Structure 1
Amino acid sequence: MTNLKVALQLYTLRDYDQEDFAAKLGKVREAGYDGVEFVGFADISAEAMKAMLEKSGLEAMGSHTRVEELMDHLDEVIAYNQVIGSSYIVIPYYKIESMEDVHSLVDIVKEMGPKIKAAGMDLLYHNHYHEFTNEFGDKPILEMLREATTEAELGFEIDMFWTTHADREPVGVMEHFGSRCKTVHVKDMVNKEGKEMTEVGTGILDLKGIIEKAKSLGYKWVVVEQDRIKIDGYESVKISLDHVKAMLEDH
């Protein structure tokens, strides 16, 4: 069992990108988060970002980085993430419509994963809905990626919303992936009919089970994310965190 820390995927607050970045980090910390997962760095240098994080009291959990960026600028991506103290570099999305696409992604992570591992971080893949399906093979795409790679080459950041969207049971998926899954996106759903996103702890996801399983599997982090928000963004991320923290305190 571990003491789980909670990060916010900053994509959640993209509508506030016009704000001073340091002020945004300060508000995230004020809400009670331990860290953040980046999606871009707003043209801020690694040294300046590190200083902002230290001033705010937040940790850099990791960063979502497009495959194209990894392919073209891997050394720079690694260096930046090392400076700010990231644990994970995460592929946020990859279009997979054929076996050729699967093989292409496997080749990419087999080349890049060990380099990222050698730099003290893990390369992860973040899923959406389509990786739980496969119209051109007999196994779900996510399973194919798991079987075709080693833990040293690729880990996973399983998104609980998209897992539920695909009619899979989140805790069971976490159990199946075991140590290959390093963290999860805790993202809630109003109901399976409308598949609408809502603040964590206000929907149908088994938050208690997810937190318990994350602890038992030795996760260091869980990540709150909500792609679509109907209320004030900062109010939303506080509601989500309060529910996650309540579960953490209960166990």
Structure 2
Amino acid sequence: MKKIIFYSLLSLLFTQEVNAQKKKPLYTAPFAIQTYTYRNVMPKDVPGTLDLIKSLGITEIEGGGAKGVTLEEFKKMCDDRGIKIPSTGISYEQLRTPEETVKRAKTLGSTYVMCAWIPHKGDNFTIEEAKKAVEDFNYAGKIFKENGITFAYHDHGYEFRPYEDGTMMDYIIKNTNPEYVSFEMDVLWTIHGGGDPVALLKKYGNRWKLMHVKDLKKGIKGDFSGHTPAENDVVLGTGQADWPNIIKEANKVGIKHFFIEDESNNELVNVPKSIEYLKSLKQ
């Protein structure tokens, strides 16, 4: 009888192991990173930082070049390492000269241009500033589209202030032209501002084109400031984000570029752990 029980348990464990191996990865996008993650080391050693990025198995970055090298030099360094630059960031002020941004994006080989901040005084983001942003996004986004580039606004938390029957983020999404304006969800800032990443993905579908994969420390209660101490940015899977459901829904709406971003000052330790977490997620 003991032998029967032993072999039954052995068979069960073997079956569970085989089934686990059959499960497909939930996170199927190419591993990518937002280069702001390496803001502390990139300016000191651009080639070395790109070598580090490559060593992590990362094949895509979101970035805009690096200090001390031209855009052409930076692009060649990335090409030499098999790293693509599908998205590049710009300031709000650069929306006023979209033609220059188009040239910059094409030099880097980027098909997306993202803006991550709408200027406002202190922590008081107003509906007037949201309305002006809608106007500027529609204007620049049209020119970008005419040049084969998709513009995306990256939320930062302060847009989740209540407005009418929703939030200012709802207002911005609903009043921008879907032909010209898309969005990049930053998961940490969405949660920090009181938004629900899964619900927003479901609500606005393919308006979301890009994602910043970033986690907010457990126990932290956010606000509408768009700011939080660096130590509140933690290893993926250890914070507040529901990554299995976020990634499932992001896959459904068609997000293709997921940029890991770590704004802590412990990025050299955190990023490899975050990548291992993403690898562990199964369908």
| Superposition TM-score, scaled by structure 1 size | 0.89
Alpha-carbon distance in 2 for matches of 1:39, 1:142? 26
Aligned to 1:203, which of 231, 234, 239?
Answer: 239
Aligned to 1:46, which of 71, 74, 77?
Answer: 71
Matched, 1:246 2:280: yes
Alpha-carbon distance in 2 for matches of 1:237, 1:39? 20
Aligned to 1:125, which of 153, 158, 162?
Answer: 153
Q: 1:80 to 1:213 in 2, by over 3 A?
A: same
Q: 1:104 to 1:167 in 2, by over 3 A?
A: closer
Structure 1 alignment gaps of length 5 or more: none
Aligned to 2:217: 190
Aligned to 2:91: 66
Aligned to 2:113, which of 89, 94, 101?
Answer: 89
Matched, 1:140 2:167: yes
The one-character-per-residue Cα deviations of 1:99-144 (angstroms, maximum 9, x if unpaired) are 321221111111110111122221011111111114x655311111
Aligned to 2:268, which of 212, 234, 244?
Answer: 234
SS at structure 1 position matched to 2:31: strand
Structure 2 alignment gaps of length 5 or more: 1-25, 223-231
Contact 2:43-2:66 within 8 A present in 1 as well: no
Contact 2:218-2:238 within 8 A present in 1 as well: no
Alpha-carbon distance in 2 for matches of 1:192, 1:176? 26
Aligned to 2:192, which of 141, 154, 165?
Answer: 165
Q: 1:120 to 1:246 in 2, by over 3 A?
A: farther
CA RMSD of aligned residues (A): 2.1
Alpha-carbon distance in 1 for matches of 2:78, 2:279? 21
Alpha-carbon distance in 1 for matches of 2:268, 2:81? 16
The letter of the residue matching 1:148 is N
Contact 2:95-2:137 within 8 A present in 1 as well: no
Cα shift at 1:181: 0.5
SS at structure 2 position matched to 1:156: strand
Alpha-carbon distance in 2 for matches of 1:128, 1:150? 20
The letter of the residue matching 1:9 is Q
The one-character-per-residue Cα deviations of 1:19-73 (angstroms, maximum 9, x if unpaired) are 221221121111121211115542533322221111111110211210112314x
Aligned to 2:100: 76
Aligned to 2:19: none
The one-character-per-residue Cα deviations of 1:85-107 (angstroms, maximum 9, x if unpaired) are 21210111113532321221111
The letter of the residue matching 1:83 is T
SS at structure 2 position matched to 1:210: helix
Contact 1:4-1:215 within 8 A present in 2 as well: no
The letter of the residue matching 2:234 is T
Aligned to 1:21: 46
User: Is 96-105 or 219-228 further displaced after alignment?
Assistant: 96-105
Aligned to 2:37: 12
